[in-house]
Structure 1
Amino acid sequence: MLDYNNIELLERARKVRLAVFDVDGVLTDGKLNFMADGSEFKSFSTLDGHGIKMLMQSGIQAAIITGRTSTVVERRAANLGITHVIQGREDKRDALDELLQQLQLSYTDAAYLGDDLPDLAAIRCVSFGVAVANADTFVRQHATAVTSARGGEGAAREFCEFIMQAQGTLTAAQEAYL
């Protein structure tokens, strides 16, 4: 659980300048849905999407790193305004390293939300590496923290709001809707 009373977690989240998301099992429930013609579809949470948008509006860059390649992911990223999208990369740490170099950021500036073993190296190297509630047990054991929400069911929103709370931007973002 992302504990708002944990000073160490809040300090880690306060430094975040880039939030990186896996897709399958994080922004979706992890199920792969294929049609008879070979096309696929994914279900994304609007709560997660709005959380990512609020996070970006608060000045944090967002990125997607996923092992699969899908036009659905390209479309979802475009809808959310996420410009850093890396697909078809099983070595997520290597992809993260390239992205950080491109953005001139370090591991200390980065947060990563993942769910499975291909995410583990990236989760472990960033300052704020988080696993979703239904992540692989081994991944949960090695993450900095674990969300209370499951992948595709609000975990990304929880992750985003925690970062925003740590940085003092959450209340203003919420109150803008009053």
Structure 2
Amino acid sequence: MSLSIAPDSVPANIARKAASIRLLVLDVDGVMSNGQLLFSAQGDELKAFNILDGLGIKQLMTAGVDVAIITGRSSPLTAKRASDLGIKHLLQGREDKLDALVELATQLGRTADEIAYMGDDLPDLSAIQFAGLGVTVPNGHWFVRQHADYCTTAGGGTGAVRELSDLILASQNRLDALLADYLLDAKVTSGQ
């Protein structure tokens, strides 16, 4: 496994945990976005989502890893983003993240060891601790960073989800083949 997603190598225990992941569950504000809530003068909510994260999510799903969103807020923008990415499991308005995660795991028949959960603030902490791989971001609350298994180098909304998706795919020996498909040599060989 070779990763270039972080300046330091990923610890072996994190790679082992990531190798078992079959479900990635994401918080939205502070993870898929930078955590800022912007409103227009008319009261319309605005969020910025990172395109790198989007492709990483799609690559995970193509590789057979389910992706879900659990968020404490309800937002049409989150529903649109989930729909655009093909995320089928969207739980909005769920302030008890652990309860929502256990409900989702039961519904999908997943054990804690098969779940990665990525969050950034105190309401995410119990879900982070429950999951086989609990992940946070460097802009997350210090107490969450202290108790997560892993902290990405990229911040929320700036490629952190992509970093985690690459880590999971690399740990499952799927990343190199996936990346090779994007090389010019692969396209020339296949006649594209």
Q: Distance in 1 between matches of 2:40 and 2:54?
A: 24
2:70 partner amino acid: I
Q: Structure 2-normalised TM-score?
A: 0.90
Q: Flag as ranges the 4+ runs of structure 1 deviating above 4 A.
A: none
**Bigger Rg, structure 1 or 2:** 2
Q: Structure 1-normalised TM-score?
A: 0.97
Specify which of 152, 168, 172 is matched with residue 147 of structure 1: 152
SS in 2 for 1:96: helix
CA gap 1:41/1:5 in 2 versus in 1, 3 angstroms: closer
Check whether the contact 1:132–1:155 (CA below 8 A) recurs between aligned residues: yes
Q: Distance in 2 between matches of 1:75 and 1:56?
A: 18
Specify which of 49, 58, 61 is matched with residue 56 of structure 1: 61
Q: Deviations over 1:70-116 (max 9, x none)?
A: 01001000111100000001100000011001001111110011100
Specify which of 80, 102, 107 is matched with residue 107 of structure 2: 102
Specify which of 138, 144, 149 is matched with residue 143 of structure 2: 138
Q: Distance in 2 between matches of 1:128 and 1:4?
A: 17
The answer for the alignment partner of 1:177 in structure 2 is 182
How high is the sequence identity, in percent, across the aligned residues?
Answer: 49
1:41 partner amino acid: L
Specify which of 23, 26, 31 is matched with residue 26 of structure 1: 31
Number of residue pairs matched by the alignment: 178
Q: Distance in 2 between matches of 1:3 and 1:85?
A: 33
How far has the Cα of 1:4 moved from its partner? Answer: 3.8
In the TM superposition, 1:1-178 aligns within 5 A as 4-178=9-183
Q: Distance in 2 between matches of 1:109 and 1:3?
A: 25
Q: Deviations over 1:102-134 (max 9, x none)?
A: 001111110011100010000001110001111
Q: Distance in 2 between matches of 1:82 and 1:20?
A: 10
How far has the Cα of 1:37 moved from its partner? Answer: 2.2
Unaligned runs of 5+ in 1: none
Unaligned runs of 5+ in 2: 1-5, 184-192
**What RMSD over aligned residues (CA atoms) do the two structures have, in Å?**
1.2
